Structure 1
Amino acid sequence: MVDEQVAEWDGVTLRSSLKDRYAAERDRLADAARDGNWRTVFEVLDEHAAWVNTARLEGSSGYTPLHQAAWHGVPAETADRLLAYGAARTLRTSDGDRAVDIAERRGHRHLAGLLDPAPKHPLPQDAAARLTGHLHRLIRHRAGLTDGSDLATRQRMRLPEVEALTELGHPACWFPVPGMYGGFKIVLRGGELIVDSWIRVVGGSERTDRVTADGVLLQEGGRL
């Protein structure tokens, strides 16, 4: 039976988007992964599993705990535990490196097979890139503000990436947007995305849009 659990994509990158205590815990996670303190990493992830794919708040490298594990050349058991929390093998750093690329460059060959992406719902790379680009346009449209900006861009959020969905048994994620009082449920179905979104404080805001490799098909008809 396919696991129907919906993963959470935590796209927060700004310290100002979090309460102080959560920002401190995110710092604790990033520091521990950088220093190879895996006991602390797992203590934080036990409380906040959705942070497994996050990087340092307002950092520049884009390293998640799995990237740090690859850099350190951790035992396979440690990497496997991060994967069990939902660490995505396909995520790239700011320099475009996946965890497997870092491990191979640093000579940690014992991690290569474990970190090599093995999508359960494979897509051609160009199709995944097009879906991701159109999805991001839809998110910015739905999170739009009256001044012409949007909450996702204003908060410099890391938006969901379709390649990461291909790794999941049930290829779906929930993407909350701070300040929107709601967010997006994104499901990969075949070669397209079904995107449900809503704003809890606005009655009747619930809608379903489709994203294909060719663009966004809006619920009310037409394209975005």
Structure 2
Amino acid sequence: MAGQGMPMWDGTTRRDVLPAADLAVRDRLADAARDGNWYVVLQRLHAQPALANSPRPGGASGYAALHQAAWHGVSPDTIRLLKGYGAWSSLRASDGSRPVDIATQRGHRHLADLLQPQVHHPLPPQVLAGLQQQLHRLLHYRADGGTGQDPVGRLGLRLPQPEVLTELAEPVLWFPIPGAGGFTVRLEGNELSVASAPGTGGASEERVDRVTANVTSLAEGRSL
């Protein structure tokens, strides 16, 4: 099964695409993190660790639980527990802020070292920026599959940030497209390998494309 056992990039942003029960769970998690109720946050993440990096659907800030923890200036133990559930230190909110940036701005110096991303696969900022630009273009292209419907754009999905991969020991994540397949995104050196699962964009089989900071090479042997 595509994505099984991998960290998941949750791209959901729109409230109207979620079942009512799922939306209620996400709202309870977001409310608890906003209000500093870490018992509820950790209880929810224990049940659904895949939500560790999920912002509130429809929210403007793009804050996930670790951003809120940084804002509140929680104890180091709480940060460790959140990271134990898979919260990413390099995840950027809507304004580009990482948790460490938020903690620093609010004067929570006791969290600075703990929130600093532990980078296993360092890349220059300009390479990360190029990879992200090329990746996002590719995801729109493959998800659309020539139909003109582009579910990535139609659903308003938040697209993966390659920077997150640099802090993962195994730099790979799964990006599902609701009802339309998904992508396995893997960092290999200073390039990305992007595998479209069968069913993505109407394709009958997996396709693997290569992304550099400057160009995307499609599986069909041409550049995007």
Fold in common (TM above 0.5): yes
CA contact (8 A) 1:145 1:151 kept: no
Distance (whole Å) between structure 2 residues aligned to residue 15 and residue 170 of structure 1: 31
- Residue 189 and residue 146 in structure 1: after superposition, are their counterparts in 2 closer, same or farther (change >3 A)? closer
Tell me the secondary structure at the aligned position of residue 187 of structure 2: strand
Tell me the secondary structure at the aligned position of residue 211 of structure 2: strand
CA contact (8 A) 1:174 1:183 kept: yes
CA contact (8 A) 1:6 1:172 kept: yes
C-alpha RMSD of the superposition:
1.7
Could you say which residue in structure 2 is the equivalent of 1:171?
A: 171
Tell me the secondary structure at the aligned position of residue 8 of structure 1: coil
Distance (whole Å) between structure 1 residues aligned to residue 198 and residue 24 of structure 2: 28
Distance (whole Å) between structure 2 residues aligned to residue 23 and residue 151 of structure 1: 20
Question: Deviations for 1:5-30, whole angstroms, at most 9, x for unmatched residues?
Answer: 52111111111221110010000010
- The Cα of 1:214 is off from its aligned counterpart by 1.4
In structure 2, list runs of 5 or more residues that go unmatched.
none
| TM-score, scaled to structure 2 | 0.93
Q: Give the partner amino acid of 2:209.
A: D
Distance (whole Å) between structure 2 residues aligned to residue 55 and residue 204 of structure 1: 32
Q: How does 1:184-199 map to 2 (within 5 A)?
A: 184-199=183-198
Could you say which residue in structure 2 is the equivalent of 1:131?
A: 131
Tell me the secondary structure at the aligned position of residue 166 of structure 1: helix
- The Cα of 1:38 is off from its aligned counterpart by 0.8
Q: Give the partner amino acid of 1:107.
A: G
Distance (whole Å) between structure 2 residues aligned to residue 168 and residue 146 of structure 1: 33
In structure 1, list runs of 5 or more residues that go unmatched.
none
Could you say which residue in structure 1 is the equivalent of 2:12?
A: 12
Question: Deviations for 1:48-106, whole angstroms, at most 9, x for unmatched residues?
Answer: 21211111110111111101000111000001111111111112222222111111121
Distance (whole Å) between structure 2 residues aligned to residue 90 and residue 48 of structure 1: 21
Could you say which residue in structure 1 is the equivalent of 2:67?
A: 67
Q: How does 1:137-176 map to 2 (within 5 A)?
A: 137-144=137-144, 148-176=148-176
Q: Give the partner amino acid of 1:124.
A: P
Q: How does 1:32-181 map to 2 (within 5 A)?
A: 32-144=32-144, 148-180=148-180
How many residue pairs get aligned? The number is 220
Distance (whole Å) between structure 1 residues aligned to residue 139 and residue 116 of structure 2: 29
Distance (whole Å) between structure 2 residues aligned to residue 137 and residue 197 of structure 1: 14
CA contact (8 A) 1:99 1:115 kept: yes
Could you say which residue in structure 2 is the equivalent of 1:204?
A: 204
Identity of aligned residues (%): 51
CA contact (8 A) 1:6 1:170 kept: no
Could you say which residue in structure 1 is the equivalent of 2:222?
A: 222
CA contact (8 A) 1:165 1:173 kept: yes
CA contact (8 A) 1:5 1:170 kept: no
